[in-house]
Structure 1
Amino acid sequence: MDTSRLLRTTGTVIAAAGLLLSGCTSGGLGEPRASASAAAPGTVPAALRPYYEQKLSWRECGVPGFQCSTMKAPLDYADPGTPGSAQAIDLAVARRVATGPGKRLGSLVVNPGGPGGSGIGYLQAYAGIGYPAAVRAQYDMVSFDPRGVDRSTPVECLTDPAMDKYTQVDQTPDDKAEQALLVAAFKEFAAGCETHSRRILPHVSTVDAARDMDMLRAVLGDKKLTYVGASYGTFLGATYANLFPGRVGRLVLDGAMDPSRSALEMNRDQTEGFETAFRSFAKDCVKQPACPLGQGSPDAVAQRLAEFFRKVDGRPLPTGDAARPLGESLATTGVIAALYDESAWPQLREALTAALGGDGSGLLALADSYYEREPDGKYANLMFANAAVNCLDQPPAFAGPAAVEAALPSFEKASPVFGAGLAWASLNCAYWPVQATGTAGRLTAKGAAPIVVVGTTRDPATPYKWAQGLADQLDSGTLLTYDGDGHTAYGRGSDCVDTAINRYLLDGTPPPPAKRC
């Protein structure tokens, strides 16, 4: 369940799990309000100067070659207090110092998306060692866990056993009784978040995170922000650019979101994106010696997958874990997880082959990766932070079950296989305990330096038209297109994409307009 609108990069999907947008969008707040844009270029409000002037104390941490620190930030920017007061929260920061040779260009801040993805985990597992050597040689690679995420004053909601139950709730209700069970699950989730995280829930918006990122830029000693944001990280980056256009250095927004799309539109767009990705998988699958979903057209393959989902909805499969049989919700999540990266297609074929033979363990493993559930049963706080940010950034997609039912035909048209489940998953923010503070709106970042927006034509989680939309909105946006599969493009095997982005990061030259790889 909650398999819509989690947006994190493929570096954290199959390698650590999937990217999900969870029910309310992560998106859009239009032009900055006065309170959000008070820190005009070259100035810092007096109340925030103690935060901007703090010094980070670095220490070795966990992974060799990486250093960690803690940055203080105001819980509430309207009443910031001081870094040493009870009004401050802790934000975890990590870096890997530039390896050389060559001139050091400053800090490159990276974000893997989510919302809710751990920037520090992403840096240590991938970006800090997997980004091109020339980039790592000249930049300190830096990331942080945004407020509410993992090591940074995390949002907490449910116990691990309760999360196990939550992920199994049927999200394609067949009658009013099943609708009531789904609504009860969403309400229980929201109530758990309010009980355990009441203090921070009103203060985890993307605007708050963008303001934190400007503070991080300052304490790192950089006059302007150099940044690579993936998936939801593109919305964080675009929000930053809109708030602080004069502080924009070199920004890469890969797997872009369109902040002008409403929660309803975004969820429906993403539903269509997963349908597009599944059809790419289906076309590849029927070329293999033994496609578990048979042969024929993508329509025929999709129909067989839908039949499989209906079957496990009525009779879940054993998985080796008696408390977690594979029902429709976990099976759907497992399939969606593998659609983020075409390199996971062989794993998906194997999991489907086993499932059609009566063993649901392979699809359960994919679903666990998506939810960031460890083998010992412990969950990361990804899903908690994801909902907290999404539900604050925009009003809910639906007010109640009746609204979902009215929208079902459009979702099922977007995807006959995934449409119903993703429509119902979009209901969760309807019961959120904190009112949304953001709205959908265009982000122009007028006056910013050139910003590179990257879109993949068959991206499941951030459809290509979102990248087109964002590049069009940004006054200085330039679109780099990757004609391919999977979620995001940089560092995923395209020399054309990597060369264009590396050149931009290293010498500031953006790709030519409408460049296509």
Structure 2
Amino acid sequence: MRHRKTLAIAVTALALVVPDSASAVRGPQINWGTCGPDLQAFQCATVEVPTDYDRPHGPTTTIAVTRLPASDPAHKVGTLFVNFGGPGAAGVASIQQVAQTAYSPELRARFDILGFDPRGVGLSDPATCYPTAAEEAVVLAKLKEFPVTAQQERSYIADAAKMAAHCRTTSPERFKHFSTANVARDLDLLRQAVGDRKLNYLGYSYGTYLAATYAKLFPNKIRAMVMDGTLLPERYVGSKSEDLPFGARLRQGEGGYDSYQQFLLECQKAGDACALNALGDPKVVVEKLLEGLKTKPIGTFDYPAAVGYMFNSFYSSTSYPALAQTLADLVTQPKMRLAKEDYPSIGNAMQPCVETQKTGRPQDYPSYADAADQRAPHFGRYRAWLGIHCEFLGLTDTDAFRGPWRNNVEQPVLVFGTRHDPATPYSTTRPFANLWPDARMVTIEGWGHATSFGASVCADRMLTKYLITLAAPADGSTCQQDRKPFDSLPTAATGHLSGS
């Protein structure tokens, strides 16, 4: 779940169980066309789906889709639907960026690989919080990753309330139908539209939550599902038994702190390959840097920015050398300036607000953050603020599905978990797998978020074989990653893209 900024999350939603037969909506037709001169290998289209499935013949929402056609259409299995997480990750641009290189030739031969922008996202009638992108950019430029001092906390809560009010007034109808359950219903219509009797699906991070939701609504419409970087549904939606904000429930602070410890450990092992070793004990060096940034920023780079930068770098261990070099440069070149990262739209990050449980006590977030910081220094405080904006949104999707989560899917499904994952901690993998009657859990021994994607040949082979033949590995299988964090990268190495 790739959160570059601490935006929204946590609003109570109502549970509405809709069986797969309840989709009385007829599958739309897709008229595929070109995507433009630079994307000749891909096809693009838009599809209209009901905005509100309680009014199947009422207003519609546009869903943007793209696909890389199977290279061996005579032996095509079907269409592989891919969700990159987020929530709110744009699937169209992601598929066009990676599909030709990220997936094995065998998989690309046998499947059309399809990405879609979920409703409210990207090219699919986006739910926005400001009238123009320029106005939103001004707000994002001022937004800190999280507050530290008491004064910053008060301001952060007040700003969250203002931002939520903008979302509530700019796109209220889109937010009110923004739930994952409606994305799952859209997904089933897209399945019908491409002519597949059953769904073939690959989901990363938040995409595993979408998979769990689809499995409850359409348990008999699944051929194959691969889920990597599991998001435990009951933590995502919340429950009375765990009275915590959204960010604290997800345990991302603990995941980030574990990854931080791994980064320092691997750095020590790496010798000269890790720039921090030239300055002393990496942990001492980084801790001193972080402490200093709390009171004396380096340019615009302050303590929250440093923690957020580190957390996002932990998504792929290929980023470890660059992270170490950047931290070393901050120590040795205190006047250096770092380029500001691009951030996702506020509306995309607001999606969980319409379906997750809120605390109702925004004034208590400083206490939650203090407790989280004790459990997971630096990263606990960062992720504990994740749900503050949702406390003020005041909009819910009454068609959201909020459990129970054990399903009746007959087909074996494939579940990957990476040992040291900052965003979807490994400890959630087995509980997630236990929601399925026949889940084959595979542990990827390594570092990063949703790493079956481009980090392990072993995992890629399992994924490819399962999707093509339905031959799933034994539950409890293990794969190694192809490289250690500070190993030299091959000349033609490509970046690692993962969702939420």
TM-score tier after normalising by the smaller chain length: 0.7 to 0.9
CA-to-partner distance for each residue in 1:294-319, whole Å, 9 max, x for gaps? 43374x355224314313xxx4333x
Task: Normalising by structure 1, report the TM-score.
Answer: 0.83
Q: Is the 8 A contact 2:177 2:397 kept in 1?
A: no
For the residues of structure 2 that align with 1:198 and 1:467, how far apart are their CA atoms?
A: 35
For the residues of structure 1 that align with 2:148 and 2:377, how far apart are their CA atoms?
A: 16
Pairing 1:275–2:275 present: no
For the residues of structure 2 that align with 1:460 and 1:25, how far apart are their CA atoms?
A: 21
Q: Is the 8 A contact 1:113 1:231 kept in 2?
A: yes
Q: Which of 353, 361, 366 in structure 2 is aligned with 1:399? A: 361
Amino acid at match of 2:441: L
Amino acid at match of 2:214: Y
Q: Is the 8 A contact 2:65 2:114 kept in 1?
A: yes
Pairing 1:71–2:47 present: yes
Question: Who is 1:107 aligned against?
Answer: 79
5 Å-filtered alignment, 1:285-296, equals 285-286=267-268, 287-289=270-272, 290-291=275-276, 294-296=279-281
Pairing 1:340–2:315 present: yes
- How big is the alpha-carbon RMSD for the aligned residues of Structure 1 and Structure 2? 2.6
- How many Å apart are 1:332 and its aligned residue? 2.6
Distance 1:293 1:390, change over 3 A: farther
Pairing 1:390–2:370 present: no
Pairing 1:316–2:279 present: no
Amino acid at match of 2:149: D
For the residues of structure 2 that align with 1:463 and 1:305, how far apart are their CA atoms?
A: 26
For the residues of structure 2 that align with 1:55 and 1:121, how far apart are their CA atoms?
A: 22
For the residues of structure 2 that align with 1:123 and 1:348, how far apart are their CA atoms?
A: 27
Q: Is the 8 A contact 2:10 2:245 kept in 1?
A: no
Q: Larger deviation: 94-103 or 474-483? A: 94-103
Pairing 1:351–2:315 present: no
Pairing 1:225–2:199 present: yes
Q: Aligned to 2:308, what secondary structure does the other structure show?
A: helix
CA-to-partner distance for each residue in 1:132-174, whole Å, 9 max, x for gaps? 1100001001111000100000011144455444454452242
Q: Aligned to 2:114, what secondary structure does the other structure show?
A: strand
CA-to-partner distance for each residue in 1:29-83, whole Å, 9 max, x for gaps? 89x734x32x32xx742xx12xx1x21111110312101111101111111225x
- How many Å apart are 1:503 and its aligned residue? 1.0
For the residues of structure 1 that align with 2:129 and 2:80, how far apart are their CA atoms?
A: 32
For the residues of structure 1 that align with 2:55 and 2:286, how far apart are their CA atoms?
A: 53
Distance 1:221 1:207, change over 3 A: same
Question: Who is 1:202 aligned against?
Answer: 176
Q: Is the 8 A contact 1:29 1:259 kept in 2?
A: no
Q: Is the 8 A contact 1:272 1:415 kept in 2?
A: yes
Question: Who is 1:410 aligned against?
Answer: 371
Q: Aligned to 2:434, what secondary structure does the other structure show?
A: helix
Question: Who is 1:513 aligned against?
Answer: 475
Q: Larger deviation: 352-361 or 233-242? A: 352-361
Q: Is the 8 A contact 2:127 2:347 kept in 1?
A: yes
For the residues of structure 2 that align with 1:25 and 1:469, how far apart are their CA atoms?
A: 22
Distance 1:67 1:19, change over 3 A: farther
Matched residue count = 461
Q: Is the 8 A contact 2:49 2:63 kept in 1?
A: yes
Q: Aligned to 1:72, what secondary structure does the other structure show?
A: strand
Q: Which of 414, 430, 434 in structure 2 is aligned with 1:468? A: 430
Question: Who is 2:16 aligned against?
Answer: 33
Amino acid at match of 1:187: A
CA-to-partner distance for each residue in 1:408-458, whole Å, 9 max, x for gaps? 343113311222232233322111131365575442221331111111110
Q: Aligned to 2:394, what secondary structure does the other structure show?
A: coil
Distance 1:249 1:21, change over 3 A: farther
For the residues of structure 1 that align with 2:406 and 2:184, how far apart are their CA atoms?
A: 15
- How many Å apart are 1:284 and its aligned residue? 2.4
For structure 2, the 5+ residue unaligned runs are 239-243, 480-500
- How many Å apart are 1:293 and its aligned residue? 9.3
For structure 1, the 5+ residue unaligned runs are 1-6, 9-17, 319-324, 373-380
